[in-house]
A and B are shown apart, each in its own frame.
Chain A
Amino acid sequence: MTRESSDPLRVEGTRLGNGLEVFRQAPPPAARSFSATFVSAAGWACDGELGGLAALVSATGAAAAGTRDRVALAQVLDRHGAVLTHHCDPESAEVTVWGPEESLVPLLGLLADVVLAPRFEREDLERVRRQLYERQLRELSQPESRADRALLSAVFPPDHPYAKSGAGTHESVARVHRADLVRFHERHVTAAGGQLVLTARPGLATIARLASRGFRDLPAGSEPAARPVARAPRGKRPQRRRLSMPGRAQVEIRVGGASIARSDPSYAGAFLANEVLGGRALLSRLFQNVREKEGLAYHASSSLEAMRWGGYWEAQAGTGPERVDAALRLLYAEVDRIRHERIRGPELERMRESTIGELPLALETTQGAHELALDVAYHHLGETFLTAWPSELRRLSPESVRTAAAEAFPDAGTVTVLAGPIRPLSGGAGAGSTRVHAHHIHTHK
């Protein structure tokens, strides 16, 4: 008899006969729900010539499956008090069902239907297509999304999946037929490269049995080949892009560049450095200096997106046009400090303990715990990763964090984007991508 772990910090794994990886995490003790996610390799890196294809497959496939059309599927979810969500990114696609724990068996069956037997009905495809057209337009018209897109398309080469939004173009989405969805699904939604992650009360053996019942017919497929992803150039000169969007009230500022993958040995140090820079709400340097000390912006933060194939970092703020220069100077100064200065002991200690202390908050709900399990499973971090994470952070010295920061927030190739009510540079190119050198302010002596 296997011992069932009731510790939400342990993420146990096994493999079904067809090769599908199955992971199980216990939910928080007081929780009464479960969460199950199927992760496939069907991200938009697989789009090929048909930009937007993965997004169409993800949304259309989650609408109707097995014997249920979309109304019947929605009704089943409502009757269980459950929610089905789907998500697609460059590297993968996910579909998640969350519901009351007593509904685990039927809802896991429903998830299996969605994964194995999507109906890809024509009406659903047309509806999702219309929604994708609207998303494309919205991404063009909002300063936030324009700034994000401009940053990534400047950081990565055009053929790099991280450079794209996944929504495709009007032309590429218009060219997609139902047969394309079916082909894409057959090829990329397989056990190889797939994962089923559950945060649920039953132990791993029971979960594996249930998973086998629902997912045994999932084709084994072939292990996805290493993707021919072009590396983001790291040696480029700084670039600046100004996107003049008249009529808006606020300018969105982004400063960023290419960064490390999640598997990079310096990840823990880089993670902590990002927390100090702008990742940790309220405590971070960007929040404290840009908002609290200078009152320049409502939001000021940073993020480090470390994925399987690579990553990127960005520091961001949103502010009125008359305060852009001052805010930008502070952003540059703080990015520069994190690259070049050792974080002093007390500050590093505060940030480290805050990060470690936050773990229980993630375990408040099944959904919060599940997010952690997904991360552990996706990056193959190991059964005891979450338990060991505090010690790993405590082992980091100020010097190792500085070294990691220099690696994760490289000086070279930094891109600055301003999007909003700003004047275009005189003589700027019509496409809005005028490039100038960024002026970095060095504050340390």
Chain B
Amino acid sequence: METGVRAMVVALSVGPARVERFALPNGLEVQLAPIPGSPTASVWVWYRVGSKNEWPGVTGASHWVEHMLFQGSPRYRKGEMDRAIVEVGGSLNAFTDNDFTAYFSTVPREHLGIPLDIESDRMTRATIAPVEVERERTVIRSEREGNENWPEFRVDEELYALAFQRHPYRWDPLGYPEDILALTPKDLQSYYRRYYGTRNAVLVVAGGFEAGALARDVRRRFSPLPATGEDPKVRVVEPPQRGPRESTLTGPGTTPFLEVGWRAPAVSDSHAAAALLVDAVLGGESRLFATGSMWGRRTEHPSARLYRRLVDEGLAVRASSEWRPRLHPGLFVVHAQAARGIALPRLERALLTEVERLARDGPTEAELAEARIKLRQGAQLAYEGASRCGFRLGYFSMLGSDGFEGALLRAALRADTRAVRRSARELFREENRTLVRYEPSGASLDA
């Protein structure tokens, strides 16, 4: 270790300097994070609804409703939300996850009232007009088709479909193609009415504003909304996996790859903190606490085990791992893309051997020290900018209660080699494993 580097490690503090938290009588949770000097303000509304709340026949409904919330509400006709935000130089978008749906706008701070007005209008009164639902159907089909062009999407979809036989994590938030064709405006309207509303949402605002004045403004805009929206318990429990599962997909493409998933703990599980460290040791980083962009990942981690074993030795051109924290038990996924001329069985053997070695022997003290530094330093700049701040505050509020992020990070930093080895053993059991290979069917295929 280089001299002086240890001293660089900052004291552990995660999150913005100040967050005002309160709830309105109608149940809406509010978090305000003023950032002195910030030229922008970012408004995020997080709903505790995602594909976990769907069932066969209505898969993709959460995502489709997300699209429909841009298609009109009483004060903003179709297209007017986009115009209102973009005309002042702002940006807006949304995304749907298995566990939640988030809407966000970032604007120059003097225009903060616009996104607040939009969000308060569409939280309970989105129009969801049948004619717009029909128009959006082809847009959503096109979104799915664009994803299907990528073998990685197909493999990921297959992996979850194979690993989960009952739980809604079985399908992608985009939904099944058949359901995209069959869902009706009524389906979407009732889905929206059930899940959207003040009781099932968290409003996060970060950026350049005075918290007291903004709190009054938020109360004025959102307090009149009715107390609606529910977050019903997902009752489906995935039964234990009784043995390894595997599948081989073929299709267009030129480089074979494989993805292996092990049934993994939910974010509230006692093994969650160790899973962060396993991710950092094996793949080189943890997505939750990674230096870089808001939600991006780096692929080059030369000190990580998978990299050394697979990339350095010429078996793969890239190799990564990911434990994505979820509300329900999910998957710990390892991905490896074969190098030219390397057959998948060889890559597969090497990958599984490396994972088994970690499960058997655990990490070394040096590896764990390195992983702790990565987590700790990765959290350091994670809140820079109003948009990132709004994202992280809201994201962690979907996963746990106040202070959850710090608690998770502290638990990870406390975990020792024995604890991580125990968790790795529990995680990487053979009977918990699902493996999907992708064998390209040919070269460029152009005619």
Residues of A participating in the B interface, judged by any CB pair closer than 8 Å: 28-33, 63, 70-71, 74-83, 99-100, 102-103, 106, 123, 126-127, 130-131, 133-134, 137-138, 140-144, 146, 243-250, 252, 280-283, 288, 291-292, 294-299, 318-320, 323, 350, 353-361, 363-368, 419-420, 424, 428, 430, 432
Contact = CB atoms under 8 A, between A and B. Distances in A.
Nearest to B177: A249
Contact of A420 (B149, B150, B254, B314): B149
A432 B446 CA distance: 6
Given A30-B38, A133-B339, 16 more contacts: A33-B381, A74-B300, A79-B8, A126-B314, A137-B340, A244-B446, A283-B86, A296-B138, A297-B139, A298-B142, A298-B143, A299-B142, A299-B146, A320-B138, A364-B39, A432-B446
A78 B251 CA distance: 38
B68 to A, nearest CB: 13
B444 A353 contact: no
B9 A248 contact: no
17 contacts: A31-B384, A81-B377, A82-B291, A83-B292, A131-B317, A134-B255, A137-B340, A146-B444, A244-B446, A295-B136, A298-B143, A298-B146, A357-B87, A357-B111, A361-B108, A364-B39, A365-B385
A137 B342 CA distance: 14
B89 A282 contact: no
Interface string B75-90: 0001100110111111
Given A31-B384, A140-B443, A245-B252, A357 B5 contact: no
Contact of B446 (A243, A353, A358, A360): A243
A247 B337 contact: no
Given A31-B384, A78-B374, A144 B292 contact: no
A337 B302 CA distance: 51
Interface string B310-329: 01101001100000000000
A361 B88 CA distance: 11
Given A78-B374, A298-B146, A363-B39, A424 B381 contact: no
A361 B446 contact: no
Contacts of B108: 357, 360-361
A32 B37 contact: no
The CB with the most chain A CB atoms within 10 A, among B87, B143, B149, is that of B149
Contacts of A138: 254-255
Q: How large is the interface on B (under 10, 10 to 19, 20 to 34, 35 or more residues)?
A: 35 or more
Contacts of B9: 79
B200 interface: no
Contacts of A252: 149
B340 A365 contact: no
Interface of B: 1-2, 4-6, 8-10, 35-40, 78-79, 82-83, 85-92, 106-109, 111, 134-146, 148-150, 251-255, 291-293, 298, 300-303, 311-312, 314, 317-318, 337, 339-340, 370, 373-374, 376-378, 380-381, 384-388, 440-441, 443-447
Nearest to A123: B312
Nearest to A27: B384
Nearest to A423: B447
A359 B106 CA distance: 12
A360 B40 contact: yes
B385 A247 contact: no
A361 B90 contact: yes
A350 B339 contact: no
**Shortest Cβ-Cβ A-B pairs, 10 listed:** A357-B89, A81-B377, A29-B37, A249-B148, A424-B447, A137-B254, A295-B135, A249-B145, A358-B89, A360-B39
Contact of A78 (B83, B377, B381): B377
The CB with the most chain A CB atoms within 10 A, among B373, B386, B447, is that of B447
Given A291-B139, A353-B87, A141 B145 contact: no
A424 B447 CA distance: 6
B139 A247 contact: no
A44 to B, nearest CB: 20
A202 B35 CA distance: 22
A29 B300 CA distance: 31
A364 B385 contact: yes
Given A130-B317, A245-B252, A146 B82 contact: no
Nearest to B376: A81
A364 B384 CA distance: 8
The CB with the most chain A CB atoms within 10 A, among B292, B314, B385, is that of B385
B210 to A, nearest CB: 15
A361 B40 contact: yes
Given A71-B302, A78-B374, A250-B145, A282 B36 contact: no
A212 to B, nearest CB: 22
A159 B55 CA distance: 55
B106 A130 contact: no
Nearest to B42: A364
B142 A250 contact: yes
Contacts of B136: 295
A33 B440 CA distance: 43
Contacts of A131: 317-318
A203 to B, nearest CB: 18
Contacts of A359: 89
A366 B384 contact: yes
B252 A246 contact: yes
Contacts of B106: 361, 364
Nearest to B137: A295
Contacts of B381: 32-33, 81, 99-100
A83 B384 contact: no
A356 B89 contact: yes
Given A83-B292, A288-B79, A250 B146 contact: yes
Contact of A103 (B8, B35, B134): B8
Contacts of B6: 79
Contacts of A282: 82-83, 85-86, 92
A91 B86 CA distance: 32
Contacts of B340: 130, 133-134, 137
A141 B292 CA distance: 29
